[in-house]
Every structure is written in structure tokens, then in C-alpha cells.
Amino acid sequence: DMKAARFSIQAARHRLELDRKSFLRIDAVLDGNHGGAGPSNVGPGLRFEIPVFNRNEGLIIRSQWSLDQASRNYQSVRDRIITEVKTSLASVDQANSNLQLLREEVLPDLQDTIKLSEAAYRDGGDTYFLVLQSTTQYLDSRIRELELMADLRRAIAELDRSVGRRVVVEHYSEANFPLPEPSIDSDVERAPAPELLLPTSQTDPGVDSPEKTAVIVQASAGVKGVQRDNMTESLHRAAGKVSGKVDNQQNRLVAPIASQSGESANRWIEE
């Protein structure tokens, strides 16, 4: 745009100089006479207008106005480019500031929050919901980091477009904030799962064996004690749901599951 505005100024200036010199018009003529009263003759001549009242002021004024218009257009384009460059530079600074703030202050704090929530879960002070909530906030912040990186790259591209060439050589690289691996599996001792599968020795030869149904009992790390009655009731309820899915011939084979489950739960609680 700046080059086009400069070319317009140069063209208007050349037109103005041409109009100032075009008021004196001289034409070359060739005149001849034959068959008249006198002898035949042929002679050259010049024809021009004496610029007494008309010195081509109209075209000169028009060209002058064209030059002024081109100059004003150049100033307008220049001011617009300067404004765009300043705005793009401010956008780059703002996007970079937001990205650095997120990387240096927000993400490390969220990582510490995840570690604290995991430690509280291992010690039994909080539930695992707090760990999930902290991890969700961390992942949301990582998504926000990607959005800020996209805003920064758009601002840099807009700055390059406003200047007309590439002015930013090195783009900002992505910070390495890996998602912390949960240390719960290695630090928290899992409760032993009682044997709740239907033994093969209890099946009748003439009756098809029902599907083996496993009821996994696992205590949370934050649970200090387990009520024996609640555990037995829950296992009987699970066995009842299983017994509702089999036919009458296999119903009598499912009933021992509840008793065996309750006994396994009682032994596990006593241990």
C-alpha cells in the first residue's frame, strides 16, 4: 500500500509538470495554392496561439489537486500502517504476558495442588474426588495455555502482515508441563479381594453351570473401618441380583454365593 501511494504521488507530479508546459501549442502546417488568380505556390508554415488569456490554468489546477489528493492518501496509508503495527505489537505483548503468567504462576500451583490432594487421599484425609477435581482444573489450564499460544501466533502473524515482512524470527516455544503421573497405585495398598467365584466342585453334573460372577471388594484408602453388617448386606444384595438373572434350576446354586461372600467379608474384616 505504501509503494502504491508513492507511485501515485510520482504520477501526479509528472502530470502537473506536463500541464504547466502544455499551454504553448505550436503546429506545423503546409499550405498550397493552385488554379487561382495568381501563380501556383506551395509553402510551409507555423500555427500557434499566443497565451495571453489562457495559460492552461484549468488543467494545472486539476493536476495540482490530484497531487494533493495523492499526498493525503499517502499520509492516510502511512498512519493506518503505523496504527496497525502498534496494535499488533501490543497484542503480541499482551498474549505473551498472559502466556508467561499462566506458565510461571498458574500451572505450577495447580501441579502442587494435585500433589497435595494425592497426599491427602493417601493419608485418608480426603476422597479421590478432590484429586479428580484438581486434575480437571490442571487440564483446563493446559487447554487455556494452547488457546493463548494460538492467540500469540495470530498476533505475530498480524504483526508480520502489518509490517509487510517477517520481523519475528523466533516464535515462543511450548513449555514442558507434563501431566503428573498419579502415585496412588504404587503408594496405596489395595485390600485383598475375597474369593467369591462359584467353585466348580459345588456344581451338579446334570445341571449346566451358571456364569461365574465375581464380586470384587476393595476398600478405599481413606476408609478407617468397615462395618461388618453393611458389608455382608451389600454382598447378599449383590448375590440377590445375580440370582434374579438365572432360572429356577440354578437358583439353589447361587444362594451359597451370598453366604460364602458374607463369610469372606467377615474374615477379611477380622484380619
The pLDDT of residue 122 is 85
The pLDDT of residue 143 is 92
The pLDDT of residue 146 is 92
Question: Residue 61 — pLDDT band, cuts 50, 70, 90?
Answer: confident
Rg (CA), the chain: 47
Instruction: Report which listed range, 30-34, 82-86, 176-180, 211-215, is most confident.
Output: 82-86
For range 158-184, the mean pLDDT = 59
What is the identity of the amino acid at 31? Answer: D
Q: Is the pLDDT of residue 244 over 80?
A: no
Identify the residue with better confidence: 192 or 119.
119
CA-based nearest residue to 152, from 88, 92, 90: 92
CA-based nearest residue to 216, from 232, 193, 199: 193
Domain residue spans of the chain: 84-184, 190-270
CA-based nearest residue to 96, from 10, 168, 41, 17: 168
The pLDDT of residue 140 is 92
Which of 40-44, 90-94, 98-102, 250-254 has the least mean pLDDT?
A: 250-254
The pLDDT of residue 162 is 82
The pLDDT mean for the chain works out to 68
62-118 per-position pLDDT tens digit? 888 888 988 999 999 889 888 988 898 888 888 888 999 998 888 888 888 888 888
Only one residue has cell 502511512, namely 78
Our CA angle for 140, 146, 151, nearest 5°, is: 125
The pLDDT of residue 147 is 92
- Cβ distance 8 to 70 under 8 Å? yes
Region at 133 (left for phi over 0; alpha for psi -120 to 50; beta for the rest): alpha
CA-based nearest residue to 96, from 177, 137, 150: 150
Name the percent of the chain lying above pLDDT 70: 56
Q: Is the pLDDT of residue 224 over 50?
A: no
The span from the CA of 71 to the CA of 5, in Å, is 8
Question: Residue 184 — pLDDT band, cuts 50, 70, 90?
Answer: very low
Global pTM value: 0.46
Question: Residue 54 — pLDDT band, cuts 50, 70, 90?
Answer: low
122-134 per-position pLDDT tens digit? 888 778 888 888 8
The pLDDT of residue 48 is 67
Residue ranges of E strands in 145-221: none
Q: In angstroms, how far is CA 250 from the centroid of its own chain?
A: 58
139-160 per-position pLDDT tens digit? 999 999 999 999 988 888 888 8
